[in-house]
Chains A and B, each alone.
Chain A
Amino acid sequence: MKITMTVNGKAVSGDVEGRTLLSGFLREHLSLTGTHVGCDTAQCGACLVHVNGEAVKSCNMLAAEADGADVGTIEGQANADGSLNAIQQAFQDHHGLQCGFCTPGMVMSAAALLKENPRPTEAEIRKYLEGNLCRCTGYHNIVKAIMAASGQDVSSIAAE
């Protein structure tokens, strides 16, 4: 079936099967491989994107369901001049990523969180990230980066 949507501000269309997932459409049809697939039970959050401004696990939504939607992926997050946005920059500054596989989902999740809660506490961040698994960082620097991105002073948090 034919679908059209806006992805990172650009109109796109494609011919998909009914069973094609949004994650598959982004990766295979649009070559937007920044959206990762880490599981098959909608548990890891590596595939998280924004659909009409909401955080959505793209492995858990059919491409057809996103027909007509406004979709945001990690590829559309940087500033217009290509520099890292505030969340991305905080992740780099605070070493919030190692292998980078969970990272697109983490950044997209953090963006959704800060939109609804501009100054989340540590506990609120940890709770919000329940649907995003990271195996590398032990979450320390991810939580710290999100606090920093929201303008909080993180200098007193243990370690680097």
Chain B
Amino acid sequence: MPKDSGIGASSKRREDVRFLTGAGNYTDDINVHGQAYVHFLRSDIAHGRIKSVDTSAAEAMPGVVRVFTGKDFEGVGGMPCGWEVTDKHGAPMQEPPHPILAQGKVRHVGDPIAAIVADSLEQARDAAEAIDLDIEELPAVIDMKAAAQDDATLVHDDLKNNICYDWQLGETDDAKVDEVFANAAHVTTLDLVNNRLVANPMEPRVAVGEYKRGTDEYTLFTTSQNPHVIRLLMCAFVLGLPEHKVRVVAPDVGGGFGTKIFHYAEEAFCTFAAKACGRPVKWTSSRSEAFMSDAHGRDHVSKIELALDADNNFIGLRTNTYANLGAYLSTFSSSVPTWLHGTLMAGNYKTPVIQVNVKAMFTNTVPVDAYRGAGRPEATFQLERVVDKAARELGLDPIALRRQNFVTQFPYDTPVALTYDTGDYNGTMDKLEAAADLAGFAARKAESEANGKLRGLGINCYIEACGIAPSNIVGMLGARAGLYDAATVRVNATGSISVMVGAHSHGQGHETAFPQVVADMIGIDESMIEIVHGDTSKIPFGMGTYGSRSLAVCGSAMVKATEKVIEKAKKIAAHLLEASEADIELKDGQFSVAGTDKSVAWGDVTLTAYVPHNYPLEVEPGLEETAFYDPANFTFPAGAYACEVEVDPDTGQVSIEKFTAADDFGNIINPMIVDGQVHGGIGQGIGQALLENCAYDENGQLLSASYMDYAMPRADDVPFYGVDHSSQTPCTHNPLGVKGCGEAGAIGSPPAVVNAVLDALNSGGKAVDHIDMPVSPSRVWAAMNS
């Protein structure tokens, strides 16, 4: 029986009512009295030396409040990077400055050169055209391998070979790896590209800065996944402001997918300019501007080699990757190709020897950072493509080859620094085989063929690491932040509860799912519990929402705080019931004395906490508790996906006919929301596999800078998805046994799609080893006809 409330129930989302009636409160809906508007004049060339920026004519234009250039920010810090990666020789990564407005050079199309603040946006835009720029155009470096050459153009003049770091994980002894490969019965090698993407949350970024002279207080309203992180970075590293004078609010946010984690120059600018101009300053990104200023995702070029013994056991894996960081280090960019990618190269398999090599490159492109999955899709794509290719080369069933090599004993220490606490990869694959009706594939294929289409089946497995932690370990790996989270449970006198959480909801439904947990713990109705998030002045602290961490990390903090509340409430109940605290039980919102019929209701105890007349002397009045939770380990969701495609042999057109996901997310709080997260991830993964590509020409012009040129998946590009999460091995180290589900779909789906297309082509008699994403009709057609 499905539950109708509490943990495990598909409670309908309470936030939906405001979104469905146009009553949401997104950042662009916020207008502050007296606000001015800023327009950023951005570079239209990829690389150039700034000779002069003459703003005098612009300053004289109607409505212009002030024009800022890089010179105005010489005294303040640049945009910081939150993760210091150490390269394989022990040296820290290269960390070139990233000013708020360009200083000295422009380094990518979209690099902001000047900011015009005016009474209206139209006036600011008009004035931008009156700015006289003298910029000497320099050759641009776009291709990562070209960037690494000795004679390459330098994005940052003093950074030789444009290398940020040359990093390694796993086996450090090259000779040992060579030996494994030399002794292998079979080696499968694959060169592949993980295409550059733009996250494209439907809400463009917005920032509104406000400054109150009377109290010397700043407020920044911003489209962020983590307002406290923005406040910390902006105050400590960029503007040098005291945190207690700065409030950061991220109200309703229209999707993030990683790209709204980062601290952006526009946020610091609006905060700074509000004081400098003596007026609130608002910036709303246009979509075209978003394409050239939101951090991009992926963009890896890799070579992967898999060694197998004569019995088809995986015995060695080696990868060499070039990772594009763009022109500057975005907030968490350095961690993505390293600790979020290299660590995942073991996948679901017990390969004993693994070596991961990553060269991270600066190029004259928009900065690249985390996008849904962040490193894990890149790892999974390489690994699952090479496993599939190995199966084809050896004439093996791709499911059987995977099963044979699955990790089956837990905990399992991988050769790439992780300890998987739990999982059941064979059990999850069993679920997939049933849910996807793989037994019926042959009949469906025959039917497709009768219609003149090729049909292929693609399988993919993935493991991901969510809720990145604990802080002491990530600190050793270079993180400049802790990765805990916090929650305050404030019980009101009449028994209703406000829970202030550090996680931020921008589509994930926290306002609905988090109360389900607290309601279950106390035995009261979900509607008595309200979630407060997104405002540094209301919540204790929080690292925000990314990396599928909210429930596993912040939810655990909420559980801990609720436990403290219950413990204190039991003391009060014991006093009221004249019983010993140890005998008090809480069930269905009633405190009772074990073995008796004496009880007192939740609401009577909470009222007593605030009207403490008949009250234990040693207990403080009030009922409010805070907990910070730092996980002991990552969580490890895993899954098996199946995609069936039809390929039109005449046009190369690929259509997704069936897509099935079997995931193990551990325990599940709200199945409806979990399904929705998987659907969304699959949609984005299919987008990457078939449609999306962020393209630059060799001069660094961004070719895909609008929805005319960047192909977003639309409703008729995708099918209904089958989603099964009945394989459940609860996480062993957090109180809810939950793992995280936000990124799985985006990690698991691209290799499944590409494997399916290759299966279709090969079963149609075309020996095609690989096609890079997006698998467009022209690429498929070319592969079929080469």
Contacts and interface: CB of A to CB of B under 8 A. Distances in A.
Contact of A84 (B20, B204, B707): B20
A135 B255 contact: yes
A38 B204 contact: yes
Interface of A: 17, 19, 27, 32-41, 43-44, 46, 73-75, 77-78, 84, 88, 91-93, 95, 97-104, 107, 122-123, 125-127, 129-130, 132-144, 157-160
Interface stretch (B21-29, B327-335, B729-737, B759-767): B21-29
Interface string B113-143: 0000000001000000000000000000000
Nearest to B709: A41
Contacts of B713: 138-139
Contacts of A158: 720-723
B706 interface: yes
B287 interface: yes
Contacts of A159: 675, 679, 720-723
Chain B interface size band reads: 35 or more
Nearest to A89: B20
B698 interface: no
B320 interface: no
Nearest to B671: A160
Given A38-B287, A135-B712, A138-B721, A98 B676 contact: yes
B12 interface: yes
A98 B202 contact: no
B506 interface: yes
Given A98-B255, A143-B720, A157-B720, A35 B22 contact: yes
Contacts of B714: 126, 129-130, 133, 139
B200 A135 contact: yes
A95 B506 CA distance: 14
Nearest to B29: A33
A34 B21 CA distance: 7
Interface in B200-217: 200-204
Q: Could you tell me the dominant secondary structure of chain A's interface residues?
A: loop
A98 B507 contact: yes
A99 B16 contact: no
A155 to B, nearest CB: 13
A125 B718 CA distance: 12
> Which among A77, A92, A98, A143 has the greatest number of chain B C-beta atoms within 10 A?
A98
Nearest to B712: A133
B288 interface: yes
Contacts of B122: 17, 19
B715 interface: yes
B20 A107 contact: yes
B675 A88 contact: no
A33 B204 contact: no
Nearest to B254: A101
Given A36-B254, A137-B680, A140-B721, A75 B21 contact: yes
A133 B29 CA distance: 20
Interface in B154-184: none
Interface stretch (B396-404, B409-417, B681-689): B681-689
B21 A138 contact: no
B295 interface: no
Interface in B465-507: 506-507
A59 to B, nearest CB: 10
A157 B723 CA distance: 11
B17 A92 contact: yes
Interface in B703-727: 706-708, 712-716, 718, 720-723
A26 to B, nearest CB: 10
Contact of A137 (B201, B254, B683): B683
Interface centre among A19, A102, A137, A160 (most CB of B within 10 A): A160
Given A74-B20, A140-B683, 17 more contacts: A39-B287, A74-B21, A75-B21, A91-B16, A95-B675, A97-B13, A99-B254, A101-B201, A101-B255, A123-B716, A127-B715, A129-B714, A133-B712, A138-B686, A141-B676, A144-B720, A160-B675
A149 B716 CA distance: 19
12 contacts: A36-B254, A39-B707, A43-B708, A92-B17, A98-B507, A100-B254, A139-B713, A139-B714, A141-B676, A142-B715, A159-B722, A160-B671
A157 B257 CA distance: 27
A37 B28 contact: yes
Contacts of A98: 255, 507-509, 676, 680
The 8 residue pairs across chains A and B that have the minimum distance between CB atoms: A34-B22, A138-B683, A100-B19, A101-B254, A99-B507, A98-B507, A43-B707, A74-B22
Contact of B22 (A99, A104, A123): A104
A101 B20 CA distance: 10
B20 A91 contact: yes
B366 to A, nearest CB: 18
B32 interface: no
B628 to A, nearest CB: 28
Nearest to A75: B22
A84 B14 CA distance: 12
Interface string B252-268: 11110100000000000
Contact of A138 (B257, B509, B718): B718
B680 A138 contact: yes
B15 interface: yes
Contacts of B716: 123, 126-127, 129-130
A84 B202 CA distance: 24
A34 B287 contact: no
Contact of B203 (A34, A99, A130, A142): A99
B185 interface: no
A84 B720 contact: no
Contacts of A101: 24, 26, 201-203, 254-255
Contacts of A130: 714-716
Interface string B656-695: 0000000000000001110110011111101000000000
Nearest to A85: B20
Nearest to B661: A159
A2 to B, nearest CB: 19
Most buried by B among A36, A100, A123: A100
A41 B287 CA distance: 8
B527 interface: no
B77 to A, nearest CB: 32
